[in-house]
Chains A and B, each alone.
Chain A
Amino acid sequence: MSLFNVFTISGTGMSAQSVRLNTTASNIANADSVSSSIDKTYRARHPVFAAAMQKAAAGQEDSSVGVKVLGVVESNKPLTVEHNPGHPMADKDGYIYKPNVNVIEEMTNMISASRSYQTNVQLAESAKNMLNKTLQLGK
């Protein structure tokens, strides 16, 4: 029954978008976490999405394609180095290291992710309505 697959597909969409929201929240929360060495500084992280083919039965073509999160990658943009000898986290040369999080980029990412999440919820909702109408068939 294809309509039930819509729930699976929009479910994968919702979980992928919520991973994206999670990483965005983590990036924004850590946008100002300074540290005293390059290695320990927080780096912006983003999920990588990929299409998840679902070969349910043999001989069946995959018309239903969910989405999966392949992994979360850290951005390799350069960190912001600031000379601030008075800072408690400053290293021996007086430098502090700030994360490479672009807050504006993260905000737009957040809006985009939450819109996509909503779209997936609406898909499931309308598939539910279609199924409900089908159950009422002939009454």
Chain B
Amino acid sequence: MAINFEQALGIHPQTLAVRAKRAEVIASNIANADTPGYKARDMDFKTALVQASQKQQSGMTRTHAKHFDVRSELNNGVQFRMPDQPDTGDGNTVDAQVERNLYLENSMQYQASLQFLTGRIKGLKKAITGQ
């Protein structure tokens, strides 16, 4: 079996990208916790991950400045959150406590993916040095 860096790292690089994007979305919610009319959003992780892993094949190279940029960004899984409390008085649906916990959870999952990646890279290093 030939060593293929794309396959050696598995799904983890895409997972990291999606987790980073989700951190951004949740950070937006927390920053706007006091903004009237702001609607909390989150990512559907499954959709986002599927899109992120398909992105590698679907990217097209632009050879001319007037070509359209068809590379899609990884934020298509972003959707509005169903609020627990329908009317807060100012139209804001952010629950700061929930968002903070989700941010923490997402950050731990990000670090878990990093651990997996580190394991894969260590494995590759071992294979390269052969010791």
A51 and B29 CA atoms in complex are apart in Å by 10
Q: Which residues of A contact B30 (CB under 8 A)?
A: 10, 13, 119-120, 123
**B contact residues around A51 at 8 Å (CB):** 32, 35, 37-38
Which residues on the B side are within 8 Å of A104 (C-beta)? none
B contact residues around A116 at 8 Å (CB): 33-34, 96
Q: Contacts A6-B24, A66-B31; is A126 near B117 (CB within 8 Å)?
A: no
The verdict on B53 contacting chain A, using a C-beta distance below 8 Å, is no
* B34 CB contacts on chain A under 8 angstroms: 16-17, 20, 49, 67, 112, 116
**Judging by beta carbons under 8 Å apart, are B32 and A63 in contact?**
no
**Among residues 1 to 40 in chain A, which have CB atoms less than 8 Å away from a CB atom of chain B?**
1-3, 5-6, 9-10, 12-13, 16-17, 20
Check A133–B111 contact: CB distance below 8 A: yes
The B interface, classified by DSSP as helix, strand, loop or mixed, is helix
CB closest chain-B residue, reference A47: B34
Instruction: Pick the residue among B20, B32, B111, B121 that contacts A2 (CB under 8 A).
Output: B20
Asked if A2 meets B24 with Cβ closer than 8 Å, knowing A9-B31, A61-B75, the reply is: yes
In the assembled complex, 19 residue pairs joining A and B whose CB atoms fall closer than 8 Å, in A order, are A2-B24, A3-B20, A5-B27, A6-B23, A10-B30, A12-B31, A17-B34, A20-B34, A49-B34, A49-B36, A51-B32, A61-B73, A65-B38, A67-B31, A123-B103, A130-B23, A130-B111, A138-B118, A138-B121
Chain B residues packing against A (C-beta within 8 Å): 16-17, 20-21, 23-25, 27-28, 30-38, 41, 69, 73, 75-76, 78, 96, 100, 103-104, 107, 110-111, 114, 117-118, 121-122, 125
Further contacts, 20 of them, CB under 8 A, given A60-B75, A63-B28: A2-B20, A3-B23, A6-B23, A9-B24, A12-B31, A49-B34, A50-B35, A58-B69, A65-B32, A67-B32, A112-B34, A116-B96, A120-B30, A120-B31, A126-B107, A130-B107, A137-B114, A137-B121, A138-B117, A139-B118
